[in-house]
């Protein structure tokens, strides 16, 4: 059992079966405070009503924390504004926060990792976030117990209020800024610190494809941009500490290998990096081994994104 002093925010909507797995994993530990956000049912989606109510009942029965604060929405905010608003509201009271969506199952080692990193880098604004994910475990080298990276993954993560305050949620404002800026230079020249023209082109295409959609719902791309904009870094553990259970089976063969990953229950920090700077060897490998393959399967990604939106809208 791990005792966790940092507050934890659990974000849920209409997936009680997955939420139960997340809460079961949390119940093995003790927390100072838990925030539980449950988005409201969508208009005209009858199936949402029962599922959302089950999620509300489940978070209301949380008994493994010293203090529980629930955020229950009558209306549906969606998969972008909902999580963004919940995180922002929690930071009205907290200086640091661990965030778990309803499909992110952590190991106790994840909480210990977060606590140690929070304490060690509390006064280092360059350290922007803590990731519970290592999607390149065993493929990309991690010297020591963790590395600093320019890449952000949000499948179970932690951050500081000082970092979250740099996020601009309005995607249209961000799109306007991106269109005015040049990304043709090298790492030191371009505003978002891309390592190469190839990387800049790759991510700018992703950002624009999403932000140009009139019905875009999301918050993670905005957070990634914010981290890059302020030259921030994520902390990536040597082993994966959170498993995303949001995709089951092989419906999305291109992405399936990044879901339902095993988690390291006995992970401990034994060695810290000598400097607070991005590990170029890891980042270059991660771009080639994680992001490029994802791009080759871009059709699968677009289908997944579309189905995620349909799930929120129609209760799939």
pLDDT score for 197? 87
Residue pLDDT tens, the chain, 316 long: 999 999 999 999 999 999 999 999 999 999 999 999 999 999 999 999 999 999 999 999 999 999 999 999 999 999 999 999 999 999 999 999 999 999 999 999 999 999 999 999 999 999 999 999 999 998 999 999 999 999 999 999 999 999 999 999 999 999 999 988 866 555 556 788 898 888 999 999 999 999 999 999 999 999 999 999 999 999 999 999 999 997 643 334 445 566 778 889 999 999 999 999 999 999 999 999 999 887 665 555 555 566 666 666 666 5
3-state secondary structure the chain: CCEECCCEEEEECCCHHHHHHHHHHHCCCEEEEEEEEECCCCCCCHHHHHHHHHHHHHHHCCCCEEEEEEEECCCCCHHHHHHHHHHHHHCCCCCEEEEEECCEEECHHHHHHHHHHHHHCCCCCCEEEEECCCCCCCCCCCCCCEEEECCCCCCCEEEEHHHHCCCCCCHHHHHHHHHHCCCCCCCCCCCCCCCCHHHHHHHHHHHHHHHCCCCCCCCHHHHHHHHHHCCCEEEEECCCCEEECCCCCCCCCCCHHHCCCCCCCCCCCCCCCCCCCCCHHHHHHHHHHHHHHHHHCHHHHHHHHHHHHHHHHHCC
Residue 173 is predicted with a pLDDT of 96
Q: Give the pLDDT of residue 254.
A: 46
- The CATH code of the domain at 3-314 is 3.90.550.10
Query: What pLDDT shows up at residue 259?
Result: 72
pLDDT at 309: 63
pTM given for the model: 0.90
Predicted confidence at residue 297, as pLDDT, reads 57
Q: Note the pLDDT of residue 10.
A: 99
């Amino acid at each position: 059992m791990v005792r966790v002093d940092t507050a934890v925010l659990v974000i849920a909507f209409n997936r009680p079966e997955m939420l139960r797995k997340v809460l079961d994993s949390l119940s093995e530990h003790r927390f100072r405070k838990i925030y539980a956000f449950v988005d409201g049912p969508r208009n005209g989606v009858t199936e949402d009503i029962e599922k959302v109510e089950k999620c509300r009942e489940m978070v209301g029965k949380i008994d493994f924390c010293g203090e529980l604060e629930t955020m229950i929405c009558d209306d549906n905010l969606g998969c972008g504004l909902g999580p963004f608003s919940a995180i922002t509201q929690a930071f009205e009271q907290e200086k640091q926060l661990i965030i778990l969506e309803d499909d992110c199952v952590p190991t106790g080692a994840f909480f210990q990792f977060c606590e140690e990193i929070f304490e060690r880098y509390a006064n280092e604004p360059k350290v922007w976030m803590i990731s519970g994910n290592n999607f390149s475990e065993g493929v990309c080298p991690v010297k020591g117990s963790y590395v600093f990276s320019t890449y952000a993954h949000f499948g179970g993560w932690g951050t500081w209020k000082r970092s979250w305050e740099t996020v601009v949620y309005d995607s249209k404002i961000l799109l306007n800024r991106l269109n005015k800026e040049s990304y043709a230079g090298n790492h030191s020249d371009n505003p978002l610190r891309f390592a190469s023209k190839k990387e800049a082109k790759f991510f700018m295409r992703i950002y624009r494809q999403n932000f140009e959609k009139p019905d875009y719902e999301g918050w993670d791309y905005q957070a990634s941009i914010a981290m890059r904009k302020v030259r921030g870094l994520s902390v990536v553990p040597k082993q994966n500490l959170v498993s995303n259970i949001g995709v089951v089976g092989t419906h999305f063969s291109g992405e399936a290998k990044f879901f339902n990953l095993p988690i390291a229950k006995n992970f401990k920090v034994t060695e810290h990096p000598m400097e607070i700077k991005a590990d170029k060897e890891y980042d270059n490998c991660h771009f080639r081994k994680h992001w490029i393959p994802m791009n080759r399967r871009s059709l699968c990604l677009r289908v997944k994104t579309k189905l995620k939106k349909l799930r929120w809208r129609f209760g799939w």
